[in-house]
Amino acid sequence: MNAAIRAVVRTAIFYDIEVAGIRRGFEGMINGDIIPMGTKSVSNIIQRGGTILKTGRSEQFRTPEGRKLAYEQLKKNDIDGLVALGGNGTFKGANEFITEYPDIAVIGVPCTIDNDLFGADFTIGYDTAINTVIEAVDKIRETAESHDRLFIVEVMGRDSGMIALRTGMGVGAEAIMVPETKSDINALFDRLERGRKDKTSKIVMVAEGDEPGGAFEIGRAIMERYPHYDTRVSILGHIQRGGKPTCMDRVLASRLGVAAVEAIKDGHTGEMAGLIHNDIVFTPFGQSVKHHSEVNAEFIRIVEMLSL
């Protein structure tokens, strides 16, 4: 998010627009935690993970009373436009806000490692997250090779299998299990049985939201069925959310930050700026949050062929 914040601040200054930062998202908006920002405010942050403005959930903002308090704080600080960095929850909140207070222009910038927003080929943070997973699982594979083990690796994705899908292909996984498709544990058993008997390691990638119950439940089922396998479970967890952003994420964030400010300047509101086929495209909040991106079935087909 820092690269996007930097782009928003410096683009606004380029167009002689005063710009402020709101700490801790909607909660900070309600509490008036608003600070002026200038060019130096965003120096030396493009390479840092996370966000210098902090983030957090706001139960207050879910209520009309909370949104009214937020609106009053914006008016008090002479703010008439917002760039909202976030994902599904952020854009739902922003959509409700502009319905009640249409005089505040809001443009969204998609920031979620799940890469599950309609209207964007890639969301900010996704490329960094999948490269972190690749690095971790490559190391796990070395352990698996050395000890002839089968590893069940769980990655983030409560409602989306985008991380598991792409990284599963990238690490040469034997199978991928994601919440968007029905996972059949017996089909997984068949794949493990049909695989080469002389393979010294096996990797099964699982999204945390997969319906059999995640990596531990899948691991338990495999150990019951194949007690002779040396089966281990590895949960990567929040390691996927940290680290220095990749070049792709920094460039994507920079482009979308610029586009968001220019959209507000040109009178747009209630839309998310996203990159589709390398072009900036604006999608209404109502569509971006209702229509999640679908997993690419071709990826699963390719994994099945290449894991033999």
The predicted pLDDT at position 211 comes to 65
Q: Look up residue 59 and give its two tokens.
A: 């139960």
- The fold adopted by the segment(s) 2-125+245-290 is Rossmann fold (3.40.50)
Q: Please state the rounded mean pLDDT for residues 216-224.
A: 89
**pTM of the entire structure?**
0.91
Confidence band for 48, pLDDT divided at 50, 70 and 90: very high
CB-CB neighbours of 117 under 10 Å: 26
**Helical spans, DSSP H, in 197-246:** 214-225
- The fourth-level CATH superfamily of domain 128-242 is Phosphofructokinase domain (3.40.50.460)
Predicted confidence (pLDDT) at residue 289 exceeds the cutoff of 90: no
Give the active site residue among 80, 103, 114, 159.
Answer: 114
Q: Please state the rounded mean pLDDT for residues 255-275.
A: 98
- Residue-by-residue DSSP string for 149-170: EEEEEEES-SS--HHHHHHHHH
Q: For 57-85, what is each residue's pLDDT tens digit?
A: 899 999 999 999 999 999 999 999 999 99
Active site residue 190: no
Taking the domains of the chain in order of start, what are their residue ranges?
Answer: 2-125+245-290, 128-242
- Which one is predicted more confidently, 252 or 150? 252
Q: Please tell me if the domain spanning 2-125+245-290 has the same topology as the one spanning 128-242.
A: yes
The predicted pLDDT at position 195 comes to 65
Predicted confidence (pLDDT) at residue 279 exceeds the cutoff of 80: yes
Name 66's Cβ contacts closer than 8 Å, sequence gap at least 6.
26, 30, 58, 59, 60
